[in-house]
Amino acid sequence: MPEPFKNFFNPIMIAQMGEHLARCDRHFDSGAFIKQATTGLETLELKQRSNHILAALEDTLPGKFTAAAELMVAALHPEDGVDLSGQTMDKEGIRGWAVMPMADYVARHGLDHFDFSMDVLKAMTKRSSSEFAVRPFLDADPDRAMRHVEDWARDVSYHVRRLASEGSRPRLPWGMRLPKFVADPSPILPVLERLKDDTEEYVRRSVANNLNDIAKDHPDLISDIAKKWLSGNPGSQRKKLLRHACRTLIKQGHQETLRAFGYAEPQVSLVSLSLGKNTVRFGQNLQISARLHSETDDTQDLVIDYVMHHRKANGETSPKVFKWKTVNLAGRGDAFIEKTHPFKPITTRTYYGGTHAVELQINGLTFGRVEFELIL
């Protein structure tokens, strides 16, 4: 079983942080920092541990913000452009998870030193990521912050280019929402345009996630971008980016987006939609199968999903779309598909017994519905 992320914040890491900070400033009290940061650490979860270390930094770094920030930057690991996933500190300097509380220090105390702080976060992101810490600056003064972000999108470091996209996401998971960009994402679009064909998959994936964030509030805008970026001969990398960017819209059956990818209104008939059993107990699997017949002489590309209508506490149901498969259906041909859907404990859903339903969705349109009983 993988090591919990919270365990990256441990006494050994904290001791290394203290040593590197003391190496760069002989007045830094590494003993006090290490004692405060490690006391009570084991009882805390991931973000709590980071905040616990942040509090120790606040009590031991120089009182002047610029001096504290300069010390943290001086203690960073030399920039080497490596993949930072799984990287830990060594004798060269601070990098990896240890940067999180330092970046949060800048976010908490650096707004009055705006441009200086943005440069500090740029330096830190080359050794980890400042995607969460940059968001208070984007929220406080979007125009000023975006001037930095636009420069970051042209940086030679792919870590910095990725920060330009990831840090500006309107709805970054686990990060503060950026309501101004939720309402109007237009300031972000030139950055995403610049980065859409970046040489690094790490950057392009972030562009896709940013576009997917925007799609939740501005679906037609992302549909138009998809059409524009797919025109001509975009290449496989851009197509992959856009499929990931439009994943929510495709699952929702957004027709203009589906058409942008070449998925027209399906000319098919549903021969059958059936379940392996009409009653399923919690902890068991439900077998779903469907048979389709083409009603045209032309070959059709079909995106086939299924919608599970989960029963809620009040007896109503709420839909959840699940990916099934894509099918290239020959003219007048048939297709038979099967899927196993598990009913097992997950942290994001509370199950309720009673009538549920499954619907088939093809290129965003509904084909058939069948009900079953879930027994807890």
pLDDT tens for each residue of 315-368: 999 999 999 999 999 999 999 999 999 999 998 999 999 999 999 999 999 999
Structural domain total, the chain: 2
Quote the CA–CA distance of 372 and 6 in Å, as a whole number: 41
Whether pTM > 0.95 for this model: the answer is: no
Domain boundary among 222, 239, 260: 260
- Domain, as residue range, for 82: 5-260
38 and 162 belong to one structural domain: yes
Residues 188, 189, 190, 193, CA torsion sign = positive
3-class DSSP state of 137: helix
279 and 161 belong to one structural domain: no
**φ, ψ for residue 367, nearest 5 deg:** -130, 95
Residue 238, exposed/middle/buried by CB under 10 A (0-12, 13-18, 19+)? middle
Domain boundary among 260, 295, 319: 260
What pLDDT, on the 0 to 100 scale, is given for residue 83? Answer: 78
31 and 166 belong to one structural domain: yes
Quote the CA–CA distance of 181 and 194 in Å, as a whole number: 18
229 and 94 belong to one structural domain: yes
CB crowding 135-147: b at 16 or more within 10 Å, else e: bbbbbeebeebbe
35-73: pLDDT as tens digits:
999 999 999 999 999 999 999 999 999 999 999 999 999
Answer for the pair 296, 261: CB distance below 8 angstroms, yes or no. Answer: no
Mean pLDDT of 270-291: 98
Instruction: Quote the DSSP letter at residue 77.
Output: P
Domain boundary among 260, 291, 317: 260
Quote the CA–CA distance of 163 and 131 in Å, as a whole number: 6
Quote the CA–CA distance of 372 and 355 in Å, as a whole number: 6
Query: Which CATH number does the domain housing residue 46 bear?
Result: 1.25.40.290
257-280: pLDDT as tens digits:
999 999 999 999 999 999 999 999
188 and 46 belong to one structural domain: yes
171 and 272 belong to one structural domain: no
Q: Using only C-alpha atoms, what is the Rg of the chain?
A: 25
- 75-81 long-range Cβ contacts below 8 angstroms, 24+ apart: 75/17, 75/20, 75/21, 75/23, 75/24, 76/123, 76/124, 76/126, 76/127, 77/127, 79/126, 79/127, 79/157, 81/126, 81/157, 81/158, 81/159
Quote the CA–CA distance of 109 and 114 in Å, as a whole number: 10
Q: CA–CA distance from 299 to each of 187, 292, 305, 363 (Å)?
A: 41, 13, 19, 14
pLDDT band at 84 (very low <50, low <70, confident <90, very high): confident
220 and 320 belong to one structural domain: no
151 and 278 belong to one structural domain: no
Quote the CA–CA distance of 207 and 138 in Å, as a whole number: 17
pLDDT band at 80 (very low <50, low <70, confident <90, very high): confident
Query: Which CATH number does the domain housing residue 280 bear?
Result: 2.60.40.10
240 and 276 belong to one structural domain: no
Helix 142-152 vs helix 114-125: crossing angle, to nearest 10? 30
pLDDT band at 28 (very low <50, low <70, confident <90, very high): very high
Mean pLDDT of 92-112: 97
pLDDT at 216 over 90: yes
Residue 13 corresponds to which amino acid? M
pLDDT at 87 over 80: no
Residue closest to 255 by CA, chosen among 284, 226, 214, 275? 226
Residue closest to 161 by CA, chosen among 116, 210, 216, 115? 210
**φ, ψ for residue 288, nearest 5 deg:** -120, 135
What pLDDT, on the 0 to 100 scale, is given for residue 47? Answer: 96
204 and 274 belong to one structural domain: no
Residue 20 corresponds to which amino acid? H
51 and 122 belong to one structural domain: yes
Quote the CA–CA distance of 50 and 58 in Å, as a whole number: 12
